[in-house]
Structure 1
Amino acid sequence: MQTASTSAAPQSASQKAMLWIVFAGFFMQALDTTIVNTALPSMARSLGEKPLDLKSVVVAYTLTMAMLTPASGWLADKFGTRRVYSTAILIFVLGSVFCATAHTLPQLVIARVLQGIGGSMLLPIGRLAVLRNIPGEQYIAALAFVSVAGQVGPLLGPALGGWLVQDVSWHWIFLINVPVGFVGLFAVRRYLPQDAVRAVAPFDWLGCGLLSLCMVAFSLALENGAHSPWSVALIAVSIVSVLLYIPHARRRVAPLFQLALFREPNFSIGLIGNLFCRIGSGAVPFLLPLLFQLQLGYSPFHSGLLLLPIAIAGMLAKRWVVPLVNRFGYDVFLQVNTWVVGVSIASFAAMSPGWPLVLSIVQLSVFGWANSMQFAAMNSITLKGLSHQDAGSGNSLFSMVQMLAIGLGVSIGGGLVSLFSVKLGVAAPAYRLAFFTMGVVTVFSAWIFRRLDAKPAPLHAKNVEAKPVQAR
């Protein structure tokens, strides 16, 4: 795919350089999403914390990205693509340095928030730069080329993170962003065109604040546990804030997200289905390295290598999505494939000391294959029914839900392991029960997809490549 995309990319030197700049930014963001998970046990020992307590390191990053992604397009219009993209890279690099120099868990969480601020702008503004500077007939090929970074990052991240932790230090999983970032800053100044600042409507900061409060309060409620009185209060704050957004959106001329988006039935159903399905999928990259290292005794590098089948199978599965969806329809495909994803997650509960390596590779490959097709189909059915006017707003809301689901998956998955460990007094069966539970949650989303429109327009291969998701 990379060869084909590259050959179709624009031939001018400046346009090629710009594509590589966007590729590098997307690669840093995609790499950082996956490289941290393998290092969590080592980071926990270094900081004197329990490994499961480091789930806040992952949640802080994804939640920050979810909150700030909708503002990225407005910032690019207001201040210019090149200026905002340079700022995003600089913030991301500074956040990486602060992560590497953190000595306590709170310091690391704050640094991850700073990293998330920069990361939230890298992908959407990079796409925007491609859209504004690449001719229409070359846009699909250019965006497909850039999307390769989203596949290479998860492919290299776990193994690279495991090697750095095992042979160097966990600090280097963040420090490797520094040279890449500085080269990117120089290249942006040299090759990315300075587009004109546009007249834009005022950004809906109140609406963004209400939805951000909803996400933060709900995530903190999960962190505190079901039996904490603070959790009840936080859930109430979460519900009230989202309810307050409804009259706010009705009164405002240009709200953050138009309520009319939800009149498209497949968008509403796809959004809810995405949320529940991605909660299970989001827990897997967090829980598997902990299971491999803490329960099965694998080294960090071995643990990272074991995650390769997920990424490789996911890349190979892309070509199967289009014919399967067109043959069986979105509703049937998503119902069946969701069961495959959920059952494969639940099957990880069977992994234990002495479990055959070949069987583990099969399990991981099946999950990667089905999960990749699930994402492609869910992305398409959720967004394709929106009008041109609503597409931008719908895509931003969709990106928020994706990142929120990953954070919820980590919080719920880690919380279940902690809960079962306390109840059972032993960690090993706690991991098994957590995987089984997350699999059941994923299977539940198959029931949601039953309500999809059974006869939407056919899916095309270029649509699968043209809409790479922010979190994989």
Structure 2
Amino acid sequence: MPSDTVLGAETTSRAPAPAYRITALIVASALFMEQLDATVLATALPTMSKSFGVSPLDMSVALTGYLLSLAVFIPASGWIADRFGARNVFGAAIAIFMAGSLLCAQAHNLPFLVFARVLQGLGGAMMVPVGRLVILKSVPRADFVSAMAWVMVPALIGPVIGPMVGGFIVTYLDWRWIFYVNLPLGVIGILLASHYIDNVREEIRRPFDVIGLFLSGTSLASLLFAFETGGRGAASPRTALVLLAVGVVTGALYIAHARRHAAPILDLTLMRLKTFRLSVLAGGLARITAGAMPFLLPMMMQLGFGMSAAHSGLVTFVSAAGAMAMKASAAPILRRFGFRNTLIWNSVVASAFLAIYATFRPDWPLAAIYVVLLIGGFSQSLQFTAYNTIAYAEVERDRMSAATSFYTTMQQMMLSAGICVSAAVLHMAVALSGRETPVMADFSAAFLTVTSISLLAAFVCARLPRDAGDDLTGRAPAEDAAH
């Protein structure tokens, strides 16, 4: 049984390779459960909308509500893990996620489903960043890329089989089984964590920033609800503007508060670190597109192509398969070309293939769609592996908790924004045409909108130093490589 591990401000640890791989696989099991849930749900939304008697576009709030909960509660994850121990928090987070899943399965209307998804988000807000924090605090810097790959590869199995599982469940079973499958997975995760994860925590006790959590949570929630409800036309323009104003004002108040507080819930001084700042900005632009894909692709295949949920799942899983295939290539590619060159050029390649998604039509050969989705998934996964690693290149080990909370909050915010943006474009296209449901041209507009946003990341990545992150990959300096 692992014991409590107290880390002081100057304490570092180097876990042997097998040890950190076991820990990474356990963390990945939690990511697997979360990603499976997200991709299965995205595939099932059109079917669930019929059960609840609402428009398929209105179901986007079920995705947004979960991501919103993540964004609100993730800032507290670092402090809670340092205070109570990573293993304790990780296990409790899985239990909360399971409870939310059980309530989701009992939902009989959309508002109750959204409430249950928010509870799921509370569990996910602790589960994912705390798991990542354990890895960052126990792995030497030179192994960061490999450790992240170990974490992500099993987790990507969720998106690979998610569309197929979701399609099978809603076609041949009741959609409620989407949430029941989380229960045995959660039990396994809790048992493994209790046996193999150390209860890593910090010796220094920082005061909990209650005011900061309130201000940041209010700001993030108001902004997302303004974009989500305004984009779908679910709220009047006046209501959306009020929410937007509340979000901006409380955000400004939080910034003023964070400058005075000794240990703010979101440490804005981390943005002074160049690699961290550029990863947050460029990764945020790219994640808007990533957040839109699980919402747009299954809906386009079912509403635009006329496929069943099961058939659409078989098609869209190829993108996740491409993402999983990339993980073995990440370290060699980054070692050969460096973070800067990889992120610049891969941003262009990933955006180009995402733009091709907008040209998909029912008369396309399935083989051609498979090739585009496979390469698109490969390039997107390479991009996010690089972002998730370079973000911590300049972060000292005693600031990892704060950095993980901040980075994961921004990550989830941008994923939520992707759903909001794509849903808003679809809604506007449908409203302008006078139709009740979107057609292929409407999906094309949504794909091109989010793709144009992700392309901007290439210009941000160009500001990275040429040697950024070389110590994370073992890459030789350019002058040494020439000899």
Q: Where on the TM-score scale, by shorter chain, does this alignment land: which range?
A: 0.7 to 0.9
| Residue 416 (structure 1) aligned to one of 425, 437, 443 | 425
Question: Contact between 2:52 and 2:108, CA under 8 Å: does it hold in 1?
Answer: yes
What code does the residue aligned with 2:453 have?
A: V
- The whole-number CA distance in structure 2 between the counterparts of 1:415 and 1:164 is 28
Residue correspondence of structure 1 range 394-433 to structure 2 within 5 A? 394-426=403-435, 427-428=438-439, 429-433=441-445
Q: What SS class does the counterpart of residue 9 from structure 1 fall into?
A: helix
Q: What SS class does the counterpart of residue 354 from structure 1 fall into?
A: coil
Question: Contact between 1:85 and 1:121, CA under 8 Å: does it hold in 2?
Answer: yes
Q: 1:462 to 1:117 in 2, by over 3 A?
A: farther
- Give how far 1:329 is off: 4.3
Identity of aligned residues (%): 35
1:56 aligns with 2:61: yes
Give the gaps of 5 or more residues in structure 2: 1-15, 476-483
1:98 aligns with 2:110: no
Listed one character per residue, the Cα deviations across residues 143-163 of structure 1 (whole Å, up to 9, x for unaligned) are 764543312222121111111
Q: 1:351 to 1:178 in 2, by over 3 A?
A: same
Q: Number of residues paired by the alignment?
A: 452
Question: Contact between 1:21 and 1:184, CA under 8 Å: does it hold in 2?
Answer: yes
- Give how far 1:20 is off: 6.4
What code does the residue aligned with 2:82 have?
A: D
Question: Contact between 1:317 and 1:369, CA under 8 Å: does it hold in 2?
Answer: yes
2:247 aligned partner:
238
- Give how far 1:66 is off: 2.1
Q: 1:126 to 1:300 in 2, by over 3 A?
A: same
1:44 aligned partner:
49
1:272 aligns with 2:284: no
- The whole-number CA distance in structure 2 between the counterparts of 1:269 and 1:136 is 23
- Which is worse superposed, 450-459 or 216-225? 450-459
- Give how far 1:356 is off: 1.2
Listed one character per residue, the Cα deviations across residues 160-208 of structure 1 (whole Å, up to 9, x for unaligned) are 1111111111100101112232344455566666678966222112222
Q: TM-score, normalised by structure 1?
A: 0.86
Question: Contact between 2:64 and 2:228, CA under 8 Å: does it hold in 1?
Answer: no
1:441 aligns with 2:453: yes
- The whole-number CA distance in structure 2 between the counterparts of 1:255 and 1:379 is 23
- Give how far 1:341 is off: 1.8
- The whole-number CA distance in structure 1 between the counterparts of 2:139 and 2:49 is 48
Question: Contact between 1:424 and 1:430, CA under 8 Å: does it hold in 2?
Answer: no
Question: Contact between 1:322 and 1:459, CA under 8 Å: does it hold in 2?
Answer: no
Question: Contact between 2:393 and 2:472, CA under 8 Å: does it hold in 1?
Answer: no
- Which is worse superposed, 386-395 or 348-357? 386-395
- The whole-number CA distance in structure 2 between the counterparts of 1:270 and 1:135 is 20
Q: 1:50 to 1:395 in 2, by over 3 A?
A: same
Q: 1:10 to 1:138 in 2, by over 3 A?
A: farther
Q: What SS class does the counterpart of residue 383 from structure 1 fall into?
A: coil
- The whole-number CA distance in structure 2 between the counterparts of 1:407 and 1:302 is 26
- The whole-number CA distance in structure 2 between the counterparts of 1:130 and 1:277 is 24
Residue correspondence of structure 1 range 196-215 to structure 2 within 5 A? 200-215=205-220
| Residue 83 (structure 2) aligned to one of 59, 78, 91 | 78
Q: 1:322 to 1:242 in 2, by over 3 A?
A: same
1:469 aligned partner:
none
Residue correspondence of structure 1 range 24-43 to structure 2 within 5 A? 24-43=29-48
Q: TM-score, normalised by structure 2?
A: 0.85
- Which is worse superposed, 444-453 or 188-197? 188-197
Q: What SS class does the counterpart of residue 391 from structure 2 fall into?
A: helix
2:467 aligned partner:
455
| Residue 284 (structure 1) aligned to one of 272, 278, 293 | 293
- The whole-number CA distance in structure 1 between the counterparts of 2:91 and 2:399 is 28
What code does the residue aligned with 2:45 have?
A: L
Q: 1:142 to 1:44 in 2, by over 3 A?
A: same
- The whole-number CA distance in structure 2 between the counterparts of 1:41 and 1:377 is 34
- Which is worse superposed, 221-230 or 173-182? 221-230
Q: 1:87 to 1:330 in 2, by over 3 A?
A: closer
Question: Contact between 1:221 and 1:234, CA under 8 Å: does it hold in 2?
Answer: yes
1:157 aligned partner:
162
Give the gaps of 5 or more residues in structure 1: 1-6, 464-472
Residue correspondence of structure 1 range 49-198 to structure 2 within 5 A? 49-127=54-132, 145-185=150-190
Q: 1:234 to 1:280 in 2, by over 3 A?
A: same
RMSD of aligned Cα (Å): 3.0
1:260 aligned partner:
269
- Give how far 1:361 is off: 0.7
Listed one character per residue, the Cα deviations across residues 290-332 of structure 1 (whole Å, up to 9, x for unaligned) are 0001110111111111122212211222344444444544344
Question: Contact between 1:284 and 1:345, CA under 8 Å: does it hold in 2?
Answer: no
Q: 1:165 to 1:354 in 2, by over 3 A?
A: same
Q: 1:359 to 1:125 in 2, by over 3 A?
A: same
- The whole-number CA distance in structure 2 between the counterparts of 1:376 and 1:244 is 33
- Give how far 1:448 is off: 2.3
1:349 aligns with 2:358: yes
2:379 aligned partner:
370
Q: 1:10 to 1:450 in 2, by over 3 A?
A: closer
Question: Contact between 2:77 and 2:130, CA under 8 Å: does it hold in 1?
Answer: yes
Q: What SS class does the counterpart of residue 264 from structure 2 fall into?
A: coil
Q: What SS class does the counterpart of residue 470 from structure 2 fall into?
A: coil
What code does the residue aligned with 2:116 have?
A: A
What code does the residue aligned with 1:274 have?
A: G
- The whole-number CA distance in structure 2 between the counterparts of 1:157 and 1:460 is 32
